[in-house]
Structure 1
Amino acid sequence: MVNRLSPRDAMYYFLDESGSTTHLGALLILDPHGSDAAELRSSRSKKTADTGAPKSSSAKVTPDAGADRPTAPPIDYPRLVALVENRLQLVPRYRQIVREVTLGLARPVWVDDPDFDINFHIRRSGLPRPGDTAQLQDLISRVMSRPLDRTRPLWEMYLIEGLPDGRLAVLTKTHRCLVDGDAAREISEVICDETRTVEMLAEDLWMPGAPPGTGHLALGALAEALSRPGDLVDSVVHGNSIIADIRGTAEGALRRVGNVVQQITDSAPSSPLNNATTSTRSFAVASVPRRGCAKIADRYDCTVNDVELAIISGVMRRWMLSYDESVRAGDTVRVVLPLSARDPAVERRAESDGRWITVGKPSFVTDLPVGEDNPTVRLAQVAGLANRYAQSSRRLSMGPQPLLPELGVVPFPELSSRAFRSLNRRNYNVPVAMGTSPVAARYVGGCAVSQMYAIPTLMAQRALAITITDYHDNLQFAFIADRGVMSDLPALTEYVTESFEELLGTK
């Protein structure tokens, strides 16, 4: 029995093109000299208690002083390969390739890679001296610009050496079709432990299954199609109407098209952020202390999520002013973000659910008042709009959806992908992913993860995507953009600090 891609997986697989690749990932900064979580939280709280000011606006990490800190043996390439190889049994799709079916008679299938080579997927890279933030971000930009090799399992991992103070970075890149669903985890989540002790799984003696031939896949697809008359007989025997199933399929498709049309009639503001994308990416990160954001939230009786959105509003306002000085009062940028960020039943917890790559969750669309000059007023408007639109059925979104998921035949995937991109273009300007709870301390091969950034997918007709990860008492922002539209992306890291400080300094 073949393991066929789900309709959503197939949609993301076929959405890949030369100008848009649907992969995501994570950047983990490893510090072999890093302190345990409790000590680190204590020291950071002491440093930010008075001012709440950010330690850094970029990926740089200055290790805490102290010779008595625990030191893990430095992770190297062989140890990383052994760790990943041991954990792949938790994510079997990472040893499988996607096989398309002749003439699009059915959705593609997952099959074992008979030539699986883990050393192809895990690569070693290094930064030239001085190994600074700009060089790291430039390397990540180039890696994320390249499409994945479709003849192999759709993921890559890089061990990046040459960071100051003996630190390392692990960069992961995974196709979006691999991580859809609650049980499907991104590879960065699989290799991380909650303690410094590495828990190795029982040895997995994996052997690839025999790959099905092209004719076998085609016959299997035809057999599935020919099984429909049997469904008809079964429906008649049991008193069910096949017409009801057909009607349900048609109504489902109409609802999806109707939802898209509804969002188009209330479309996002015209913006270069919706310009056609190229294949070249740029990447940047920034960080602000969560303690300072919590102070702002307490002062203005809002949530930390509101403060995060207000910071992004300030960032986008500054970028628009640098791009076009004619920003007017009332101008907005439309973002889509997880509904869980506004759900009162979802509370931030000290314990983490272990996920920092969250996809496929219910979302809603809201507006950021970038035309408002006063940061306090801007924060109040952000909170009010988000509260209102989270309750509006017109603003709810399940994210990109296949137009006809009930149909297994995909004879014209390129045409369908173009139609999807055209319909989905103006729903919003920028996707924003933010977690609903802090991520607890993590370790890779016994080395402390000092910083963690989730790298979002940059879909077609989007020039910017943003993620925010709550890790080690910091809110860590990651930006990925189309270099052709946002060549000045590194400036956004400074805008994050400026937006945070103006909110912190307002009375």
Structure 2
Amino acid sequence: MERLSAFDAGFLDAEDADPHISLAVGAVSVLEGPVPSQDDIVTALAARILAIPRLGQVVRRAPFDLSAPQWVADPAPDLAHHIRRAALPHPGDDEALFRFTAEAMESRLDRERPLWQCWIIEGLPRGRWAILMKVHHCIADGIAALHMLSGLCDGGEHTTYVGAIQPAHQPDPEAARRLSLNPIRWAQDAWSTASAVASTATTTLVGGIEILDSLVRPSDDSVFNGPITSMRRYSAVQVSLADALTVCRTFDVTLNDVALAAITDSFRAALIRRGAEPRHHSLRTLVPVSVRPADAMNRADNQVSVMLPYLPVDESDRLEQLRAVHRTLTRVKAGGQRSAGSTAVSIVKSVPFAVASRVIRTVTALPQRGVVALATNVPGPRDRLRLMGHDVVRMLPVPPVALRLRAAVGILSYGDDLVFGITTDFDAFPDVAELADGIADAVADLTRQAAGRVPPPGDQVGG
């Protein structure tokens, strides 16, 4: 018998706190045609899907939530409840695909069945078709979900860029080698350890205060923060990963810096379109940070901490935006927000479930006004995938929106592309396509500025 951790179950609690949200993560894979028949698709996917335990299990909650929910085998498995088919209206362009994606992600997954859904989408141009895979966040975070979904493709799991993204906390591999029988060395090590623990505790405390402050202090401009409706908009754009890495090498920044700088510039333009003045504190952004160790990449659960930096929308120059993002993230990484987030998750996992569940429900129901957007970076497959012998030519991330954050940006590296998928509240962002175009324009401009300069060797994929 397996139980959900309080942290994983918290995504169910957060969903329950707002009837207008669905906390499912998604990915759209566009494939070369022709589209197989429904029977062929079900036959091909059935064995692969059912080989993933979580996709054949349902959540069963205890009475009054006195104990953690259980994962139990679906008593009546039927893939017809999960694998569905749809056709886009002519001409089946990106606008139609994005509209369908938004509508498919709006509805909540049926908790009486395994928490996933798969849409086979026909009618794309050039004889192509697509698969939209939708999985509840209580099953997996972005990295685990990508490993899970890539495992459905031909050849099973594939090499991803995840090796270049280091977890937030790693054990010191040299610690065991520094053992000594010298009592003076013991005293020195004890003092160093005590100092390190005190320093870490102080840093974590400061980080915790920063997180709490961000949740209770309203942003300078709350146009992107507020109640969320039940309808969504979606858009996506892809840029050259090679171009982005050239920017990284030229200006000595990370890929995550480049992505967040492009998001900064696009959201700055969105503020200006709304007649709002972009200020330093206008765009505090929730940036999830993986704390997943290398030996747990295949584990279906959530292992993340958070950073809550202000993205520099008050800066108009794109190169200065990039440098400001790099400085901000460097400072935040060196601070205690990630440690505080990890500590909070550990505390949630260690206290009785009934207590943790009620705390999570209370906190997620509060109208936080300090954080206004989400940006999550998921390292995807390095090589192009194939499914049922068909090339996956595009892969688009689909993040959820919740907790009064009306816009969420998923960042995915896939093959030679860096892809941005943007989910927004329908009423708050009629300009979601302009958000996507603004990100592409910012990356293109940074690439032009990097042209002609001689970058140092190597590349920086980490974030």
* Both proteins in one fold, TM over 0.5: yes
Alignment of 1:285 with 2:230, yes or no, is no
Query: How many residues get paired?
Result: 397
> Are the counterparts in 2 of residues 104 and 412 from structure 1 also a CA contact under 8 Å?
no
1:72-471 matches, within 5 Å, as 74-179=35-140, 188-194=149-155, 262-266=210-214, 267=217, 269-270=219-220, 271-328=222-279, 330-339=280-289, 359-394=302-337, 396=339, 398=341, 401=345, 404-410=348-354, 416-422=359-365, 425-426=368-369, 428-436=371-379, 439-471=382-414
For residues 185-225 of structure 1, what are the alpha-carbon distances to aligned partners after superposition, in whole Å with 9 as ceiling and x for unaligned?
675233113599xxxxxxxxxxxxxxxxxxxxxxxxxxxxx
Offset of 1:431 from its aligned partner?
Answer: 2.1
Inter-partner Cα distance in structure 2 for 1:195 and 1:94: 16
More moved, 478-487 vs 161-170: 478-487
1:288 deviates by 0.9
**Structure 2 vs 1, CA of residues 186 and 152 (structure 1 numbering), >3 Å: closer, same or farther?**
farther
2:459 corresponds in structure 1 to none
TM-score where L is the length of structure 1? 0.70
Does the 8 Å contact 2:147/2:297 carry over to 1? no
| SS of equivalent to 1:26 | strand
Q: Which amino acid aligns with 1:291?
A: A
The residue number in structure 2 matching 1:10 is 9
Letter in 1 for 2:212: I
Are residues 438 and 445 of structure 1, via their aligned partners in 2, closer, same or farther at CA, if it must alter by over 3 Å? closer
Alignment of 1:55-66 (within 5 A): none
Report the alpha carbon displacement of residue 417 of structure 1 after superposing the two structures with TM.
4.4
Distance between the aligned counterparts of 2:416 and 2:142, measured in 1? 28
Specify the code of the residue in structure 2 equivalent to 1:28. Answer: S
More displaced 10-residue stretch of structure 1: 17-26 or 158-167: 17-26
Q: Structure 1 residue 367: deviation in Å? A: 2.2
- The SS at the match of 1:148 is coil
- From 439, 443, 453, give the equivalent of 1:500: 443
1:7 and 1:402 in contact (8 A); partners too: no
* C-alpha distance in structure 1 between counterparts of 2:132 and 2:60, whole Å: 26
User: Which of 427, 450, 456 is the matching residue for 1:484?
Assistant: 427
Deviation at 1:354?
A: 8.7
Specify whether residues 133 and 393 from structure 1 end up closer, same or farther in structure 2 by C-alpha distance, changes over 3 A only.
same
- Residues in 1 aligned to 2:32 and 2:152: alpha-carbon distance in whole angstroms: 16
- Deviation, 1:455, is 1.6
Aligned position for 1:217:
none
Q: In structure 2, give the amino acid aligned to 1:434.
A: N
Which protein shows a greater Rg? 1
Distance 1:292 1:428, change over 3 A: same
Counterpart Cα distance in 2 of 1:361 and 1:262: 18
- Aligned partners of 1:372 and 1:307: how far apart in 2? 15
- Tell me the SS of whatever aligns to 1:191: coil
- The 1:153/1:300 distance shift into structure 2, 3 A limit, reads same
The DSSP-based 3-state class of the residue aligned with 1:16 is helix
TM superposition shift of 1:166: 0.8
Residue 273 of structure 1 aligns to a residue whose secondary structure is: coil
Amino acid at match of 2:388: G
Relative to the length of structure 2, the TM-score reads 0.76
Amino acid at match of 1:300: F
Distance 1:299 1:499 in 2: 16
CA contact (8 A) 1:28 1:452 kept: yes
Are the counterparts in 1 of residues 6 and 349 from structure 2 also a CA contact under 8 Å?
yes
Q: Which amino acid aligns with 1:149?
A: D
Cα displacement string for residues 390-428 of structure 1 (whole angstroms, at most 9, x for unaligned residues): 111146553784974334453895x64442215693563
2:432 match: secondary structure: coil
Give the drift of 1:379: 1.3
Question: How far is 1:448 from its partner?
Answer: 0.6
SS at match of 1:131: coil
Q: Is the 8 A contact 2:116 2:134 kept in 1?
A: yes
Could you say if the C-alpha distance between residues 436 and 186 of structure 1 is closer, same or farther in structure 2, counting changes exceeding 3 Å? Answer: closer
Quote the offset at 1:437 in angstroms.
Answer: 6.7
Q: Does the 8 A contact of 1:282 with 1:480 survive in 2?
A: yes
Moved more, 295-304 or 179-188: 179-188
- Offset from partner CA, 1:282-338 (integer Å, 9 cap, x none): 11100111122223233323233222111111111111111224234x354222335
Q: Which amino acid letter does the alignment assign opposite residue 399 of structure 2? A: P
RMSD: 3.4
Tell me if the contact between 1:15 and 1:417 (Cα under 8 Å) persists in the aligned partners: yes
Q: Distance in 1 between matches of 2:131 and 2:276?
A: 39
In the alignment, the residues of structure 2 paired with residue 354 and residue 502 of structure 1 have an alpha-carbon distance, to the nearest angstrom, of 35
Structure 1 gap segments, 5+ residues each? 33-72, 197-254, 347-352
Contact 1:354 1:439 in 2 (8 A): no
Q: In 2, are the aligned partners of 1:273 and 1:462 still within 8 Å (CA)?
A: yes
**CA displacement at 1:475 relative to structure 2:** 0.6
Read off the aligned partner of 1:299 and give its amino acid letter: T
CA distance, structure 2, for counterparts of residue 430 and residue 494 of structure 1 = 18
Q: Distance in 2 between matches of 1:119 and 1:446?
A: 23
Distance change >3 Å, CA 327–CA 182, structure 1 → 2? closer
Output the amino acid matched with 1:313.
Answer: T
